[in-house]
A and B are shown apart, each in its own frame.
Chain A
Amino acid sequence: EPEVTQTPSHQVTQMGQEVILRCVPISNHLYFYWYRQILGQKVEFLVSFYNNEISEKSEIFDDQFSVERPDGSNFTLKIRSTKLEDSAMYFCASTFPGLQETQYFGPGTRLLVL
């Protein structure tokens, strides 16, 4: 069964450093998402991406964040200057358009900012 993959599984970085989280969505999906889950809290929507542009972003997704689909297969989340509060599990998801479609989630990248 096709699956969403994410790399790395864990990343430790120093505050102020840039990080790039990578995702390979399911190949024929058209909508891509990033969500995050701070330890012990709910999963929160960050951004959706469709047709090579951001379709929606949450208030969490400020100027420090950016997303890109550089080569038609990878989908990346960049945090320009990490803060302590960016420490979280970051999930990538992909789906076909449509509310009835299932979003498939990757295993997540656990980011720790020191």
Chain B
Amino acid sequence: AQSVTQPDIHITVSEGASLELRCNYSYGATPYLFWYVQSPGQGLQLLLKYFSGDTLVQGIKGFEAEFKRSQSSFNLRKPSVHWSDAAEYFCAVGADSSYKLIFGSGTRLLVRP
């Protein structure tokens, strides 16, 4: 069965520092991978997605993610974090059946001034 693991529940970084959020997936075939962000009281906004091709994908707000098949990972990165990036970040894999998304448990990002 498909599953997604985000091992870090909370991460705190200083503003201007780099960021990496970890995501590991379990999926039998070629995965379709997504990162969503949820600001407090808001819905889920898509940051980026990977389907095939270049394993480094660029998203909105300066985020990027790298697909590594050998490690079953799809880690999210940003070179310089802004205070407005404080939010909860969810990694998800798209499932064949009905194209539903299977989410990880999320990582809450706190940004120190």
Contacts and interface: CB of A to CB of B under 8 A. Distances in A.
A and B bind: yes
A95 interface: yes
B109 to A, nearest CB: 16
Which among B90, B99, B102 has the greatest number of chain A C-beta atoms within 10 A?
B99
B101 interface: yes
The size class of the interface chain B forms with chain A is 20 to 34
B43 A42 contact: no
A71 interface: no
Contact of B43 (A31, A50, A55, A105): A105
Interface residues of A, number: 28
Interface stretch (B14-22, B44-52, B61-69, B72-80): B44-52
Given A99-B51, A99-B94, A102-B49, A43 B44 contact: yes
Contact of A43 (B32, B94, B103): B103
Interface string A44-87: 11001010000110000000000000000000000000000000
A44 B90 CA distance: 12
Contacts of A56: 97-98, 100
A91 B44 contact: yes
B42 A55 contact: no
A100 interface: yes
B99 A98 contact: yes
Which among B36, B44, B96, B104 has the greatest number of chain A C-beta atoms within 10 A?
B44
A15 B44 CA distance: 28
Contacts of A106: 43
Nearest to B92: A43
B97 A42 contact: no
B99 A107 contact: no
A101 B99 contact: yes
Interface of A: 4, 31, 33, 35, 41-45, 48, 50, 55-56, 91, 93, 95, 97-108
